[in-house]
A = this chain, B = another copy of it.
């Protein structure tokens, strides 16, 4: 099986030989810098067998390496065995990143410019120095990749924001044009898929779990052009009527590939046209195509303003999110009740069955549009892999002892959820209970934070870690990521990580709060809620912010060591569980309601 990858890499090396390239860099992304590319662009997987959600591959004549972060170290080592591809660790002390690694190993580096952002390509170019070069070879592997997938297509849904929250697309376009005026630009090209669909209040299903449509948006002061594959204009039957509103709002629908032409079309323009692009998501191929057409001072590059605007949820979005978390919590509680009952009955429930059952509970909720990512349903040692992928065949049976971890979320017309619960299935060891309690204390300490306006996530990250740190324990990933609104489950610009991030946390931002611990070969524990940043008043010392926990699903107290949790966190936990019960109970079937009441100690 692994020989496939060895052969493919050998074919790439032949291509390198023919063309005089010293190295090929293969990104794990698509032409829009998406975090989760559709199968067509899963080039790293095709070349190496690695299926992690983050990873870039470098092939030279005598080395092949995969760069990925700690979430995927164990998985990479397993999947890369026998392929000849070596693991290079990122986000660790003294990590050597691809540009630096290449700097003294290559002069001519080929990339699929479609799948490399301008920023990434320019970092490589800078590292290669003046006598080096980055060669742009779009769809580089198509000649070798017989059964390569086509571009994904899916029907378009247009959102009625009166029902589903947020601003009207006309308001968003007016806001962007105002920003463009201030910036002094005539055109703005949006390349990131979540920015495009957010602007237009549309959603699709081009990428699994991510309600996106592969497309570009070009906004000028008098036009809005949406470059989308023709097939996408097949409308979702449920919402056909509203699509006409999109056109009525002045959006011109054009073919995906005509974006190249449109960017270079200056007809009717009197003077030099200034174009705004975001080099962190614009692909290198388009950039190479247009950079000759725009003089240097006419190509304005920077961070897209849509990223921040989208992250700060509106009042109506926040109201919907609160309701959505009630619905999602009901599904979670029904699932947890079902799981406990089934396992207690002695029936052999597998991780896969549990995962399917959870998806089914979510699917029953009106407005549900599937899951927001692949469920992580992991029992025992499997949960020690932070991003365990539950296999359909041969997944583990969940026994009535130890810990079961389930990390899942739903897409709804009214928001996106992301929750992790770790369930004591029966008796736990002292170490399991200690770890369970310390991770929980970290989650609670962060939940209780109050902070002045201007505070960034890196100032708060250690609160989720200190209870573990004081016991000489830790986890290797970030504490929190931004979450979209019926959009990607990971979004920027804010984060709660140890790495400095200059973006302050702002009222309206939704972030995950998910400390964890992983004991290789034994178990994994993660507690995750979504937290909303909100205003907490003013004092003579300034303006204050705090978190509101959006997620509503009880936290099992049977594995909690109260002395270790401490009185303040213990009180928070009890109040949270009471709030969960009181909020959800009207919506729960009688047996689940009675069970939850007991779980919440009421």
Contact = CB atoms under 8 A, between A and B. Distances in A.
Interface string A515-555: 00000000000000000000011110110100000000000
Given A459-B461, A461-B459, A500-B500, A541 B450 contact: no
Q: Residue among A449, A458, A472, A539 with the most chain B CB within 10 A?
A: A472
A460 interface: yes
Contacts of A500: 458, 500
A243 interface: no
A454 interface: yes
Interface stretch (A6-14, A297-305, A330-338, A462-470): A462-470
Contacts of A454: 93
Nearest to A543: B472
A452 B466 CA distance: 10
Interface string A474-500: 100000000000000000000000101
A448 interface: yes
Nearest to A546: B470
A567 interface: yes
A214 B568 CA distance: 54
Contacts of A449: 466, 469-470
A473 interface: yes
B541 A474 contact: yes
Contact of A473 (B455, B539, B567): B539
A474 to B, nearest CB: 4
Nearest to A545: B469
A450 B462 contact: no
Nearest to A448: B470
A472 B567 contact: no
Contacts of A538: 472
> How extensive is the interface on chain A, given as a class?
20 to 34
A20 interface: no
A78 to B, nearest CB: 20
Contact of A452 (B450, B469, B566, B568): B469
A451 interface: yes
A124 to B, nearest CB: 23
Contact of A541 (B455, B462, B472, B567): B472
A557 B567 CA distance: 22
Interface string A493-516: 000001010000000000000000
A37 to B, nearest CB: 32
Contacts of A498: 455, 459
Contacts of A461: 459
A459 B500 CA distance: 9
A461 B541 CA distance: 17
Contacts of A539: 472-473
Nearest to A92: B454
Contacts of A537: 472
Interface string A561-578: 000001110000000000
Contacts of A472: 450, 536-539, 541, 544
A69 B538 CA distance: 22
Interface in A368-391: none
Contacts of A466: 449-451, 463
A90 B463 CA distance: 28
Contacts of A459: 458-459, 461-462, 498
Nearest to A501: B500
A93 B455 CA distance: 11
A457 to B, nearest CB: 11
A541 B451 contact: no
Of listed A469, A536, A567, residue having the most chain B CB within 10 A: A469
Interface in A430-468: 448-452, 454-455, 458-463, 466
A482 B538 CA distance: 33
A460 B462 contact: yes
Given A458-B500, A472-B537, 10 more contacts: A449-B470, A450-B469, A450-B470, A450-B472, A451-B469, A460-B462, A472-B539, A472-B541, A472-B544, A474-B541
6 contacts: A450-B470, A451-B466, A458-B500, A472-B536, A472-B539, A472-B544
